[in-house]
Structure 1
C-alpha cells in the first residue's frame, strides 16, 4: 500500500492522529449512550466501548496475520494489552481526588480482572503445547472464544446480582445516570457507529504503514509491533479513559480498559484463524511470551489494588499504579535490548 519509508511514516502518524481524535469523541458518546440506554457505565464499557476501542488492534493484528507476519501480529495485540494496563496507571495519576481503583470499586471490575488473567494464560499454554491443528487453528483458539463468552456471562450475573458490595467511602464515585438534553438517541448511535468505523479503518492503515517501516528501517517486527503499533492502536483506550475520568465516569474508564483487554483475546483468536501458516502460536518469537507474562503480572497487581482499595499512596496514586508503571518500563527495556 505504501512504497517509501517517508510515506509510511506520514501515513502512520496520520492514522494515529485519527485514532486519538476519534477516541476522545467516543468517550463522550459512550457515556451518553450508557445513561440513555440504561446499560450503565460498566456493561456499556465492557460490551460496546471495549469492542470499538479494540477495532484498531483487530484491524492491525488481522492485517499482519493474513500477511503471514506472526511476530508483528502477536506483538501488536499482546503489547497493546500491556500498554492498556499502563494506561490505568496513567489514569490514576490524572485522577487526583483519590486512588482510581479505590474510587471506581465495583464487583464488575474485579470479575473482569480475574477473567483477563484466565484468558491471558491460554495463548501461553498454546505456545507450550505441541504444534497441533484442528481445521487450521490450534485447539486453544476455540477455547479462548468459549472462555471469553462464559466469562462475560459471569460478569453480567455479578452486575445484575452482586454477592458482595465494596464499602462506600467519601472517595467512592458510583455510576449515576445523567440527563442529556442535546440531540436524540438515534443521533448518538449514529455518531458511535461512524466513530467506530473510522477507528477501525485507521487501525488497518496504521498496520499497513508499520509493515513498510519494519521492512525498510531495519527494526524488528517484535519491536515495531510491541512498541510503535501497540501504543498507536491503543491510544483510543487512553483517550477514552482520560475523557471518561474528566467527565466523572470512573466506572466506564476502568471497565473500558479491562473489557478491551478481554476483547483483545478474541483478536488473538482471529489472528490464529487468519494466519495461513497453521497455528500462529508456534511461528512467533519466544519473546512474545514476555508481553503475555507481563500483562498477567500487571493484572494480578491491579487486582490486589482493587481489593486493597488504598485511598492514597505515594504521590497520591495507588501502590498498584506505581508498580505497573515500573514493571512496564522494565519490560520495555528488555524488548528494546533484544530487538
Structure 2
C-alpha cells in the first residue's frame, strides 16, 4: 500500500510541476499571439488562453465523471473556479502599482464577470430540479452550452462596439500591442499548441493519481477534488496570470481568469454528458453546492470592485481581494469539516 501511495504522490507532483512549467511559457506566447493576430488581450484570453488553461480541469473532471465518481469530478471543477478567483486576489497582491481591478479596467472584463454569474447559477438550478434526463443528459446541460456561446457573442460585441469606457487614470494600463516580435507566427502557434497538449496530459495524470491518493488515504472524493486536484489543475491559471502581469498584460491576466471560469461551466456540462448513469447533478453530494455559491459570491465581489475601481487599499491590496481571500478560507473550512 505504501509503495502504491508513494507512486501516486510522485506522479501527482510531476504532473503538477509540468502544468506549472507549461503555464509560465503559455502566458508569454498568449500575449504575443494576442498582438500578432489582432484579437487583443481580452478576446484572446477568453477564447484561447482560457480554454487551454482549462484543459487540465477538463481532462481531470471528465476522467472522474466517466469513472462514476461524481463527487470527485464536480468538486474538482467547482473547486477550481473558486481557486481561480482567489488567484486574482493573489495577483492583486503581486501587482504593487495599484489595485489590479483598477489598472485592468475593461468593459469586456465586466461583461465576463456578469456572464460568469449567470453561468454559475445553471448547474445549481439543475441540482434542485427533478431528477430527469434525456439520453443520460440533464436538460440544463444543453442550456449551459447555448448560454456560453451566446455569452461569447455578447463579449465580442462589447469589445467591438463598447457602449461605455472606464475612466482613464495614471494607473490604468490599456492593451497596447507590441510592434516587434521574434520568430514566425507559425512557430509561435506550434509552441502554443504543444504547451496546450502538455497541460491536458498533465491534467489527466493529476486526476488519475488523485484517485489513487483518495483510495489509499481514505480521504473523501469531495476533499481530494475540492482541495488537492482543484489546486493542481488550476496552477496554469495562477502561473499564466502572474506571468501576464509581469509582462504588463493586465487585461489578459484578468480576462484569463474570468474566461477560464466561464469555460469551466462547459466542463461541468461535459461531465454530465460523460457520466455513465443519469444526471451527475443528482448523484453528487449537496456539499458541492458550496463551491458554486461561493464562486458566485466571489465573482460578485470582484464585479463590485471593478465598478468601484479603488486605486489603493490597505497595504495596496483592494478591499475586494482581501474579501474574496477571506471568503475562500471560510468556505475551505466548511468543506474540510464536511469532508
The TM-score normalised by the length of structure 1 is 0.99
Segments of 4+ moved more than 4 angstroms? none
- Alignment partner, residue 221 of structure 1: 221
Tell whether the 8 Å contact from 1:89 to 1:325 is kept in structure 2 after alignment: yes
Kept after mapping to 1: 8 A contact 2:116/2:299: yes
1:148 matched to which residue of 2?
Answer: 148
Report 1:182-221 matches (<5 A). Answer: 182-221=182-221
Alignment of 1:244-263 (within 5 A): 244-263=244-263
Q: Is contact 1:32–1:180 with CA below 8 Å preserved after alignment?
A: no
Superimposed CA distance per residue, residues 172-208 of structure 1 (whole angstroms, 9 cap, x where no aligned partner): 0000001233111000000000000000000001100
Structure 1: unaligned runs, 5 residues or longer: none
Give the corresponding residue for 1:273.
Answer: 273
Give the distance between the partners of 2:109 and 2:161, measured in 1 at CA: 14
Matched, 1:233 2:233: yes
CA contact (8 A) 2:32 2:181 kept: no
1:284 counterpart residue number: 284
Q: Find the counterpart in structure 1 of residue 242 from structure 2.
A: 242
Q: Deviations over 1:218-247 (max 9, x none)?
A: 100000000000000000000000000000
Q: Distance in 2 between matches of 1:121 and 1:4?
A: 40
Contact 1:27-1:240 within 8 A present in 2 as well = yes
Query: Structure 1: how far apart are the matches of 2:335 and 2:92?
Result: 25
> What is the distance in 1 between the residues matched to 2:315 and 2:57?
32
Contact 1:55 1:196 in 2 (8 A): yes
In structure 2, what is the Cα distance between the partners aligned to 1:95 and 1:195? 26
How many residues were matched structurally?
338
The TM-score normalised by the length of structure 2 is 0.99
Separation (CA, whole Å) in 1 of partners of 2:51 and 2:320: 26
Structure 1 partner of 2:163: 163
Correspondence for 1:123: 123
- Between the aligned partners of 2:315 and 2:67, the Cα distance in structure 1 is 45
CA distance in 2, matches of 1:186, 1:165: 34
Take 1:135 and 1:170, find their aligned partners in 2: how far apart are those partners? Answer: 55
